[in-house]
Amino acid sequence: MSEYSLIINGEKVAGAGSFDVINPATEEVLAKAPDTSVEQLDQAVAAAKAAFPAWAATDNETRKQACLQLADLLEANIDDLAQLITQEQGRPLQAFGGQGAYFEVGGAAVWCRSNAELELPVEVLQDDDEIRAEVHRKPLGVVGSITPWNWPLLIAIWHVIPALRAGNTVVIKPSSYTPLSTIKFVELAQSVLPAGVLNVVTGEGEVGTAMSTHADINKIVFTGSSATGRKIMQGASVNLKRLTLELGGNDAGIILPDVDVKAMAPRIFASAFTNSGQTCAALKRLYVHESIHDELAAELVAIAQSAKVGNGLEEGMDYGPVNNRDQLNKVVELAEDAKAQGANFLVGGDVQEGAGYFYPLTIVTDVKDGMRLVDEEPFGPILPIIKYSSVEDVLKLANDNENGLGGSVWSSDIAKATDLAMELEAGTAWINNHAAIQPNVPFGGVKQSGFGVEFSTYGLEEYTSIQSVIINKA
């Protein structure tokens, strides 16, 4: 069994204790991960704080090249990293539509390169005979990153790389369910970055709580549940930390009656079941016009029945298990509630026997808003299909949810779909697609899905403060 270390100030450090990392496909202990004490967190933050002045002072080209070198490291170690992701998270190496563990590592490299090319030039607001007014973007200091278990390496990259590109130093805490690929990445990164610039601590929720209240952490970037995001926001008030919070999503997709069902069904399916539904921006509430409801449901069922669910290390698997027992229990709880209220399970709906946190790909009809399966985010491989007749009514239903991460409209009439999508209360609106994020387009939520954005120059700016410089020439 492998044992892993903290990385503090460029050195491997044993934890104050250890905890088991479980392979969700087998329920066997995969590795021992280090448990971080508060004193060790303080050491990691102190190392990042000490490294900040020199890293912030490095020239733009040096930080750009560092991001490119990190991309090279990811690609050079893609096999080891993909294997780790599959074993700790459950996603197959390739998966349905090619969106498996290899896709995650490759995507992480793409994001490194995209961030490397971003620039934050000095903006000149006024330059005349009397005044020159400039706006400068300056790094914040120590950034605390807290990442979830669903896309452990990719989301770590989303947090870390723009922070480094802007001149900050980082202490990252991955989920205790999936810490291994992040530890491996931080270990590799030490060959590129000066000591203390990037540190990793691991452990349970207490470490994250200590990070949110730490006086020497200047910003927290967090991806996870809305409930935890609110706690982080409370903790961050002690020193008015900057925050970027990408929180829960219960995204709605509206299928208009003119959609080409056979052409769009595979894309709809992939949008809903990516990573077995364990994606914040996955399509989780599917509203289908009554005229094509049955036809589309049948197409989605046929795809579900043809997909293979199993251990992601085995060849040909499309989907893996739910990542952990607690999340599996949540999926089961919502499914059983729907059954009790008369929902129709077209496929799936029962926990598989044997080892692993497996739940079958499940499609449910005869459901409506007000049922838990529709109103709450299951974060698992189960999709409720809600029949509607009026576009005006379905728009109200789609927006009548506390979350507002993403939403989509599907139609053969692009202009009509775009107009309707603009009325969705969501940070991102897709037309004839869903959950398709890209590094050059900002991504973030509204309502209880958080605030702040990631990706593109807009996301990079969130790791900086503005300093106005006013030069009096007279």
Q: Residue 76 contacts by C-beta under 8 Å, 6 or more apart in sequence? A: none
Q: Within 13 Å of residue 234, how many CA atoms lie on the same side as its CB? A: 7
Query: Whose CA is closest to 165, among 397, 394, 462?
Result: 462
Q: Is 9 left (phi over 0), alpha (psi -120 to 50) or beta?
A: left
The C-alpha atoms of residue 197 and residue 63 are separated, in whole angstroms, by 11
Q: What is the CA radius of gyration of the chain?
A: 23
d(CA 15, CA 377): 34
Q: Is 67 a catalytic residue?
A: no
67, 104, 112, 280: which one is catalytic?
280
Distances (CA, A) of 108 to 113, 117, 367, 452, 463: 9, 15, 37, 21, 19
C-alpha 217: how far from chain center? 22
Three-state DSSP class for residue 112: helix
Closest listed residue to residue 31, CA positions, set 48, 19, 15, 40:
19
User: Does residue 179 contact residue 84 with C-beta atoms inside 8 Å?
Assistant: no
- Clarify whether 246 is annotated catalytic: yes
**DSSP string covering 261-318, please?**
HHHHHHHHHHHHHGGGG--TTSEEEEEEETTTHHHHHHHHHHHHHHS-BS-TTSTT-S
In the set 88, 104, 246, 454, the catalytic residue is 246
327 close to 363: Cβ distance less than 8 angstroms: no
Active centre residues (catalytic): 246, 280
